[in-house]
Amino acid sequence: MSAHFTIRIQQADFDIAQEIADLTRGRTDIGAVVSFSGICRGDDDGGNIAALTLEHYPGMAEAEIGRHAETAMSRWPLEGLTVVHRVGRIAPGENIVLVLTASKHRQAAFEAAEFLMDFLKANAPFWKREESAGGTSWVDARDHDDAAAARWTKS
């Protein structure tokens, strides 16, 4: 069977179990699925977050995530992957992002999932605004996210 990937950016929530079922349906060549789900926190370094609002540039975000999905598919022996990223207003406890990677063996699935999350956190074209009792503010890039993504750069 051929490897494939799915990229979706959406406002609606997603069902992790359903996404795994969709990725693996009819596939007997998959021995490992690694999942990462990012959830909106209500507390960030001592401050209470009422909600996050995520924005993106439609078309560009999907293309950029797709480019990194293709890189993951070429670097690791994956049988498939799924990336679902939400946009819009997201309350604490709600899902933000899901990355699924499927491979014959676990190591490739783990590494590819970590690669994709490091990219999404540091470089994906999303803008995040936090709401709190003190007002709203845009979230700046963080050095540790950039450092995590940089470790995947081939020299």
Query: At 60, which CATH number?
Result: 3.90.1170.40
Domain presence at residue 6: no
Domain presence at residue 23: yes
**What residue type is 73 in one-letter code?**
M
Sequence-distant (6+) residues with CB within 8 A of 39 are 93, 94, 95, 96
Domain presence at residue 155: no
103 pLDDT higher than 90:
yes
Domain presence at residue 4: no
The predicted model scores a pTM of 0.89
Reading the block at residue 115, the tokens are 């690669």
Domain presence at residue 28: yes
Calculate the alpha carbon distances from 7 to 63, 87, 126 in Å. Answer: 9, 13, 14
DSSP state of 5: E
95 pLDDT higher than 90:
yes
Burial-class residue 136 by CB neighbours within 10 Å (0-12, 13-18, 19+): exposed
Domain presence at residue 3: no
Domain presence at residue 7: no
The total domain count for the chain is 1
Domain presence at residue 5: no
For 125, the domain range is: 12-150
Sequence-distant (6+) residues with CB within 8 A of 118 are 145, 148, 149, 151, 152
CB 105 within 8 A of CB 31: yes
In the chain, what percentage of residues exceed pLDDT 90? Answer: 68
Instruction: Give the integer Cα–Cα distance in Å for 11 and 79.
Output: 27
99 pLDDT higher than 90:
yes
Give the pLDDT confidence score for residue 34 in this predicted structure: 98
> Region 110-122: what's the mean pLDDT?
92
